[in-house]
């Protein structure tokens, strides 16, 4: 199984090496299956702090929240200790091996959709300065305890595409989220952003769904019945949900700007574009559908489709149909 997420950034954009937030990395992270670390009853999350991927493990005991996190490619764990401050909210202090506080976290679990980030966090240095935003996504865990873990490729040219070499202020960064992990299947979402010059950076998604027993990657043809017209069913659901999300975004923008929200009568995405699926992933409750939309509407590249919306189009013996039962 080859699952990869990599990071490449020119060194001229700085970063802090004095606290929990590291300087930007020029290495590549490759996801591989390994044994779980101690404390497997804790929930595992992935995120990115100062463009460096991290994995965090947290456990709740009443109001007490504790755990640790480590950056990809760095073995040292940073301890976390704190308390819940409300429903799906908590504050944490992080400490180094000597017990010195190196940073603070404030996290909120409010989400716009079922497969949105699990926690939206603000990280600061111990003195409250250097605020950074971190989105944490819970990682699926297999019943028998195997897990997908980051592995750093130190050889930059072998591990990271070098098309950005020599360009000032360019970067390429990628991370991953494990959406499904069973004894038979693993489905991994890959998130990336890059800048190679021009008016704006690029971002997008890819995904890999792998059948562990058959030792092969699954395609949409393995999920849906042939010539069933599933593309239109997927597009119809995504169109409705994109309209809903566009309305939420407009309401938030209007509130921030002190104005009345404008009606969202038309979808921001042309309907025909929603039949052009660029990638997919499986989750316990539905499909993640990814598009490669124009930059102005790229916020809608990632979409969740419940199995109930496409159950009539699924292959009866396919992986998605089995998950939908």
Asked if 121 and 135 touch (Cβ cutoff 8 Å), the reply is yes
Kindly state the average pLDDT of the residues 58-85: 93
* CATH 2.70.98 fits domain 220-324: no
Q: Which residue has the tokens 């401050």?
A: 85
- What's the pLDDT tens digit per position in 214-241? 999 999 999 999 999 999 999 999 999 9
Q: How confident is the model at residue 112 (pLDDT cuts 50, 70, 90)?
A: low
pLDDT band at 159 (very low <50, low <70, confident <90, very high): low
- Mean pLDDT confidence for 106-127: 86
- Cα–Cα dist 90/175, whole Å: 24
Q: pTM of the prediction?
A: 0.81
- Report pLDDT for 200: 79
What pLDDT does residue 75 have? 82
Task: Give the residues across from 64 on adjacent strands.
Answer: 61, 83
pLDDT at 8: 37
For the chain, the structural domain boundaries read: 3-216, 220-324
Give the per-residue pLDDT at 281.
98
CATH homologous superfamily of domain 3-216? Answer: Quinohemoprotein amine dehydrogenase alpha subunit, domain 2 (2.40.128.120)
The reply to whether 220-324 shares the fold of 3-216 is no
Q: Please tell me the distance from the alpha carbon of residue 162 to that of residue 257, in angstroms, as a whole number.
A: 42
Average pLDDT, the chain: 84
- If one compares 41 and 258, the residue with the highest pLDDT of the two is 258
């Amino acid at each position: 199984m080859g699952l990869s997420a990599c990071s490449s950034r020119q060194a001229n954009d700085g970063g802090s090496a004095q606290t929990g937030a590291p300087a930007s990395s020029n290495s590549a992270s490759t996801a591989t299956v390994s044994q779980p670390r101690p404390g497997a009853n804790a929930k595992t999350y992935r995120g990115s702090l100062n463009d460096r991927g991290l994995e965090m493990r947290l456990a709740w005991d009443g109001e007490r929240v504790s755990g640790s996190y480590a950056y990809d490619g760095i073995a040292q764990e940073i301890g976390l200790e704190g308390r819940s401050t409300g429903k799906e909210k908590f504050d944490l202090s992080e400490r180094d091996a000597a017990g010195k506080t190196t940073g603070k976290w404030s996290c909120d679990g409010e989400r716009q959709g079922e497969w949105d980030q699990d926690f939206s966090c603000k990280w600061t240095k111990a003195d409250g300065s250097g605020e950074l935003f971190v989105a944490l996504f819970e990682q699926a865990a297999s019943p028998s305890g195997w897990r997908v873990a980051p592995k750093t490729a130190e050889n930059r040219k072998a591990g990271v595409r070098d098309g950005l070499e020599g360009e000032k202020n360019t970067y390429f960064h990628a991370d991953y989220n494990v959406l499904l992990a069973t004894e038979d299947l693993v489905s991994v979402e890959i998130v990336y952003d890059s800048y190679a010059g021009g008016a704006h950076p690029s971002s997008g998604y890819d995904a890999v769904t792998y059948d562990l027993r058959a030792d092969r990657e699954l395609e949409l043809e393995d999920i849906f019945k042939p010539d069933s017209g599933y593309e239109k069913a997927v597009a119809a659901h995504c169109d409705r949900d994109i309209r809903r999300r566009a309305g939420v975004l407009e309401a938030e923008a209007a509130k921030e700007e002190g104005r009345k929200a404008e009606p969202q009568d038309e979808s921001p995405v042309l309907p025909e574009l929603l039949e052009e699926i660029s990638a997919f992933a499986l989750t316990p409750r539905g499909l993640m559908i990814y598009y490669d939309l124009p930059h102005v509407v790229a916020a809608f590249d990632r979409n969740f489709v419940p199995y109930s919306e496409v159950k009539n189009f699924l292959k009866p013996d396919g992986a998605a149909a089995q998950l939908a039962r």
